[in-house]
């Protein structure tokens, strides 16, 4: 059974169509790269899957369920934005997740904090953006979720931290889950993808296993991405 099933999904902002009649089915046990240029609809798609946007048309199911409380319990979502209150310390945020998510592993999260060199007692308002992103990643990956939705988790951090974050993601990821990883920094992360979806102007331009892309085009995913989207942009 598909973990994520999308049929005829449409979403507009005013007169601008952001997602156009999208159909997609994703199986568990893989890391899927959701790539596309800015404004291609990646964040909107993830927000719909996370239950943050309700004004769309079409059918979306996660684990066979329509979006709602049950799917929110299955999905661990990392947004682009910082969503924690600035008065919180790392431990407060961990306690909050521990209270609300039955699949949250407090010990795993505390270990990850140490791994990412975060002080559990430090207040969020005193953290840099990179540190806040690491904390949010800790919270998201601290869950034994069936679906992980990560929106640009490495967008605001330096290259060294990117590697640390990617290693942490791989370490925490369980193989029976589905991870959707939205990014435009493909070269840095394509090594962890099993499959990629190229999203351009609200449509899926390519949906293929990474190995098959390399085999078919004889190029890296990043190179294929540049080719596909340079054509689209020039058009």
> Quick check: 15 binds other proteins (CB under 8 A)?
no
Which position among 5, 28, 91, 101 is part of the footprint of other proteins (CB under 8 A)?
A: 101
We find the least distance from the C-beta atom of residue 224 to other proteins, in angstroms, to be: 32
The secondary element (H helix, E strand) that includes residue 212 is helix 210-217
Task: Kindly tell me which of 84 and 192 has the beta carbon lying closer to other proteins.
Answer: 84
For other proteins, the closer of residues 50 and 210 by Cβ is 50
In terms of Cα–Cα distance, which of 207, 193, 198 is closest to 229?
A: 198
Cβ-count burial 172-181 (b if 16+ within 10 Å, e if not) = bbeeebbbbb
Q: Does 122 bind other proteins (CB under 8 A)?
A: no
Smallest gap from residue 227 Cβ to other proteins (A): 34
Q: Is 50 in the site for other proteins (CB under 8 A)?
A: yes
| Whole-number Å distance between alpha carbons of 49 and 195 | 18
**140 close to 76: Cβ distance less than 8 angstroms:** yes
Q: Does 161 bind other proteins (CB under 8 A)?
A: no
- Please state, in angstroms and rounded to a whole number, the distance separating the CA atoms of residues 22 and 9: 5
> Nearest distance from residue 154's CB to other proteins, in Å?
18
By the 8 A CB rule, do 143 and 97 touch? yes
Q: How far is the CB of 88 from other proteins (least distance, A)?
A: 8
Residue where the block lists tokens 């996370």: 50
- Rule CB under 8 A: say whether 87 interacts with other proteins: yes
Contact pick of 55, 159, 160, 234 for other proteins (by CB under 8 A): 55
156 binds other proteins (CB under 8 A): no
- Our finding on whether 173 is near other proteins (CB under 8 A) is no
Piece in contact with other proteins (CB under 8 A), picked from 19-27, 49-57, 126-134, 177-185: 49-57
Nearest Cα to Cα of residue 228 among 207, 195, 205: 205
What is the residue whose two structure tokens read 């925490």? 172
Reference 139, options 167, 118, 161; nearest CA is 118
Q: How far is CA 18 from CA 53, 103, 200, in A?
A: 13, 33, 10
Stretch that binds other proteins, among 32-40, 97-105, 200-208, 226-234 (CB under 8 A): 97-105
Contact region with other proteins (CB under 8 A), list: 53-61, 162-170, 192-200, 214-222: 53-61
B/e letters for 153-169, b = 16+ CB within 10 Å, e = fewer, are bbeebeeebbebbbebb
Q: Which residues bind other proteins (CB under 8 A)?
A: 13-14, 47, 50-55, 69-70, 72-73, 75, 77, 79, 81-85, 87, 92, 96, 99-101
């Amino acid at each position: 059974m598909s973990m994520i099933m999308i049929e005829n999904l449409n979403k507009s902002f005013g007169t601008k169509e952001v997602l156009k009649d999208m159909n997609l089915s994703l199986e568990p046990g893989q890391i899927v790269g959701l790539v596309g240029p800015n404004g291609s609809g990646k964040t909107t798609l993830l927000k719909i899957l996370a239950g943050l946007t309700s004004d769309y048309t079409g059918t979306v199911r996660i684990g066979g369920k329509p979006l709602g409380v049950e799917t929110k319990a299955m999905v661990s979502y990392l947004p682009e934005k910082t969503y924690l209150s600035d008065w919180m310390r790392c431990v407060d945020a961990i306690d909050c997740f521990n209270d609300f998510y039955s699949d949250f592993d407090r010990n795993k999260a505390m270990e990850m904090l140490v791994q990412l060199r975060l002080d559990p007692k430090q207040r969020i308002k005193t953290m840099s953006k990179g540190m806040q992103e690491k904390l949010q990643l800790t919270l998201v990956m601290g869950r034994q979720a069936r679906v992980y939705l990560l929106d640009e988790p490495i967008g605001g951090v330096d290259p060294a931290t990117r590697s640390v974050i990617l290693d942490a993601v791989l370490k925490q990821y369980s193989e029976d889950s589905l991870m959707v990883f939205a990014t435009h920094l493909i070269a840095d992360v394509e090594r962890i993808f099993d499959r990629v979806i190229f999203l351009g102007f609200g449509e899926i331009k390519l949906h293929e296993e990474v190995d098959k892309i390399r085999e078919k085009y004889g190029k890296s995913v990043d190179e294929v991405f540049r080719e596909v989207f340079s054509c689209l942009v020039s058009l």
